[in-house]
Amino acid sequence: MFTLKNTATFSQDIKKSRFLAICGPVASEQAAKGFLAEHLDPSATHNCWAWRIGQAYRFNDDGEPSGTAGKPILQAIDGQSLDGTVALVIRWFGGILLGSGGLMRAYGGTAASCLRAMEKIELIKTLRITVTCDFADLALVKARLTGLGAMIDSETFIDTGATLAVDVAADLRDAIIRTVTDITRGRAVIMTEDE
């Protein structure tokens, strides 16, 4: 899965109608609503949109025939494996009817063209690991964790050492646990968020 790095636009004219796509990253439904409120154009004929955040999604045809605008925009988002993304396609009617198929191609195609040209960031599933180790092992544990790409979120000192809250890529879980166990000779207490 990917998300967008920033907001971008793309416009094209199709049979005298002007289509403008504005796409951007969002982290919540509220953020998506705020994005739409900021970019909607009340002077346009139609402001059609879609967004996806995890399993949640919404789309709107804004007066176009049902299923001809919002759903193709959502399909453009899904077709590029995007998450945390909102796409708004604004249409200024040019006087020529496009028909259902033409509308679907125009809205979905405009959104897809905008999304294709945008810089994307890969979403990596992370999980939290808690490592409790002695002072004697602490410096080496921290060095190895950061060397493996883990992010130490917090460090809490206790009588005998420290407890580290560490965020790691899910696919590195076993390698991190094995490494910490090896360098501390099994003395470290390691807990993952699923335990």
Residues 178-187, mean pLDDT to the nearest whole number: 94
Taking each helix axis from N to C end, the angle separating 70-79 and 99-117, rounded to the nearest 10 degrees, works out to 40
Which pLDDT does position 195 carry in this prediction? 52
Which pLDDT does position 193 carry in this prediction? 77
Residues 7-21, mean pLDDT to the nearest whole number: 96
Tell me the pLDDT tens digit for each residue of 15-66: 999 999 999 999 999 999 999 999 999 999 999 999 999 999 999 999 999 9
Evaluate whether 103 touches 15 at the Cβ level (below 8 Å).
no
Distance, CA of 180 to CA of 152 (rounded, Å): 14
Residues 90-95, mean pLDDT to the nearest whole number: 95
Mean of the per-residue pLDDT values of the chain: 94
Which pLDDT does position 57 carry in this prediction? 96
Distance, CA of 194 to CA of 192 (rounded, Å): 5
Is the pLDDT assigned to residue 169 strictly greater than 90? no
What is the full DSSP assignment across 160-189? SEEEEEEEEEGGGHHHHHHHHHHHTTT-SE
Which pLDDT does position 194 carry in this prediction? 64
Distance, CA of 14 to CA of 78 (rounded, Å): 23
Q: Residue 2: is it exposed, middle or buried by C-beta count within 10 angstroms (0-12/13-18/19+)? A: middle
Which pLDDT does position 124 carry in this prediction? 84
Q: Of the candidates 12, 32, 8, 34, which has an alpha carbon nearest to the alpha carbon of residue 22?
A: 8
Per DSSP, the three-state class of 102 is helix
